[in-house]
Amino acid sequence: MDTAIFVKNTTEAINKLANRLNLQPDDVVIISEMEHHSNDLPWRKKARVVKARVDISGALDLDDLCSKIRKHAARLKLVSITGASNVTGYINDLRTIARLAHTY
């Protein structure tokens, strides 16, 4: 079933999702080092947050992301990566990130 939730902004959407998922303290959520606090703090309250590295140019290190997804696959509940950095303007390849997340 497809579901749409209407919210004011991404911060509100992330908070609603974090509060509605049944995350446990030993569950893992992977984010990146480039995330805004609104995509970091809500997950920290509910689960273990693991951060994928960002290289010196500000690009997400896809090899590191893949490694972390593989390493934490048994407890991984969510990969939450920004579409574009609000600091550097770097635009992530969300199709590749989604493919990696769904592989494991």
Per-residue pLDDT reduced to its tens digit, 62-78: 999 999 999 999 999 99
Q: What is the CATH number of the domain that holds 66?
A: 3.40.640.10
What is the arithmetic mean of pLDDT over 35-41? 96
- Does residue 5 sit within a domain? no
In the prediction, which pLDDT does 1 show? 64
- Does residue 31 sit within a domain? yes
List residues bridging with 29 in a β-sheet: 49, 78
- Does residue 3 sit within a domain? no
Return d(Cα 7, Cα 56) in angstroms, integer: 34
Q: What strands lie across the sheet with 48-52, from one edge to the other?
A: 48-52, 28-32, 76-79
- Does residue 17 sit within a domain? yes
**What pTM was estimated for this model as a whole?**
0.92
In the prediction, which pLDDT does 73 show? 97
- Does residue 4 sit within a domain? no
Number of domains, the chain? 1
- Does residue 1 sit within a domain? no
Full residue range of the structural domain in which residue 97 is found: 10-103
